[in-house]
Structure 1
Amino acid sequence: MTRPEEFIEGQFIVKVIASQIRKGNVVEVDDQLYAVLKAESFFPGKGTPTTQIDMRRLSDGVKTSQRYKTTEQVERAFIETKDHNYLYQDGESYAFMNMENYEQVTVPADVIGDQAVYLQENMTTQISLYNGVPVGIELPTRVTLEVTETEPVTKGQTASSSYKPAVLSNGLRVNVPPHIGVGTRIVVLTEDNSYVERAKD
């Protein structure tokens, strides 16, 4: 009898073009499964557009990079995504709780990557699991953080003049408008660390 996961692997591999691959997807290359750590498409003025995919082999954690034409077909494995609450950091990994069955899941640091700086206790995240193994994580698109260091507000500066550097309560450095001072809570996009607006709370 086949084990259910083998059946799942065989049934849920779909072909997509390389430019549709995103961080957290699982792809099959040469009969091996890889978790995508980063996917970036390049569109040069001349020449062929390409997509570079940085990935980690699920079987042994070995990292590799592959470059494809953006329209080339890549085999993507079906994975399930579930809501998990962030609990705490434990060395090189992070503990989350499945909100349906209260089981704990440990996610390695390289699956979370640079986004780890945004993790806050009880934050709801979406974790992608492949046969129970965490392969990707999606944080909320926006988080609210407090400015802990920045240049003083200068009177007479308009909001449209150049941004200034600031340090946030999680240690992250971002650029904020001149009217934002220390102690102000601001909304930041987790995707690119950019300032959105002053928090309304």
Structure 2
Amino acid sequence: MIQSNDLRSGMSILHEGNLYQVLDTSQNKTAQRQMIIKAKVKNMRTGSVVELTFIGGDKLQPAHIDKRDMQFLYDAGEAIVFMDEESYEQIEIPKSQLEWELNFMKENSIVTVVFYESEVLGVNLPEKISLEVTEAEPAVKGDTATNAQKNAKLETGFDIRVPLFIEQGQIVIVNTTDGKYAGREQKR
């Protein structure tokens, strides 16, 4: 057990049957009252973010989260199949659990799969990922207003806004948290 005073960003706890990851905490101590701890937490099963309030000294149950690097093997229709590269064990994760992540994953890529005991919670992607542009609108000459952008489609099928100089076949860097263009890879 851990005390509520010891909560830190990144910790995982089990509270009222829910599995949470702590995003941020704040403590409020007044002269005549007990310390109040407010924790902004993310439900690791649903993805929703809520704020929990604890009194200083409350006992909380830590949750041991296991992370394993796995290879994205193939799309099996309703699920995505991943393989542990060390044990060659394969698991299936329903597509409904990976809607956002599928925009940035391509076959044979390595991702971090998150487990709690034997339950698969989801996939952690790197903050930025490189993907090829498969379709890009032509740039209109003279359309050079500040930060002018055009539509493009990535190899995963994800639509993104990119600067006018990006062309089909180029590799762009995409931020996986908001799905926005973050730069382009330089040619080697």
Q: CA deviation at 1:98?
A: 0.8
Does 2:66 align with 1:83?
A: no
Greater fraction helix: 1
| Paired residues, number | 170
Query: Structure 2 length as normaliser, TM-score?
Result: 0.69
Contact 2:20/2:41 (CA < 8 Å) preserved in 1?
A: no
Query: Structure 1 length as normaliser, TM-score?
Result: 0.65
Give the residue type in structure 2 aligned to 1:127. V
Structure of larger gyration radius: 2
Task: Compute the RMSD of aligned alpha carbons.
Answer: 3.6
Q: CA deviation at 1:187?
A: 1.7
Which stretch shows the higher mean deviation, 158-167 or 99-108? 158-167
Task: Give me the whole-angstrom Cα distance separating, in 1, the residues matched to 2:61 and 2:95.
Answer: 25
Give the residue type in structure 2 aligned to 1:91. G
Task: Give me the whole-angstrom Cα distance separating, in 1, the residues matched to 2:89 and 2:179.
Answer: 31
Does 2:111 align with 1:125?
A: yes
Q: CA deviation at 1:102?
A: 0.9
Task: Give me the whole-angstrom Cα distance separating, in 1, the residues matched to 2:150 and 2:53.
Answer: 37
Does 2:36 align with 1:51?
A: no
Identity over aligned pairs, percent: 29
Q: CA deviation at 1:118?
A: 1.7
Q: CA deviation at 1:54?
A: 4.5
Specify the SS of the correspondent of 1:116. Answer: helix
Task: Give me the whole-angstrom Cα distance separating, in 2, the residues matched to 1:172 and 1:64.
Answer: 21
Which residue number corresponds to residue 94 of structure 1? 80
Specify the SS of the correspondent of 2:131. Answer: strand
Task: Give me the whole-angstrom Cα distance separating, in 2, the residues matched to 1:70 and 1:79.
Answer: 23
Gaps in structure 1 of 5+ consecutive residues: 1-10, 42-48, 57-62
Give the residue type in structure 1 aligned to 2:50. R
Q: CA deviation at 1:191?
A: 1.9
Contact 1:26/1:135 (CA < 8 Å) preserved in 2?
A: no
Task: Give me the whole-angstrom Cα distance separating, in 2, the residues matched to 1:64 and 1:179.
Answer: 36
Contact 1:81/1:128 (CA < 8 Å) preserved in 2?
A: yes
Task: Give me the whole-angstrom Cα distance separating, in 2, the residues matched to 1:172 and 1:51.
Answer: 30
The 1:179–1:121 alpha-carbon spacing in structure 2 relative to 1, beyond 3 Å, is: same
Task: Give me the whole-angstrom Cα distance separating, in 2, the residues matched to 1:183 and 1:66.
Answer: 38
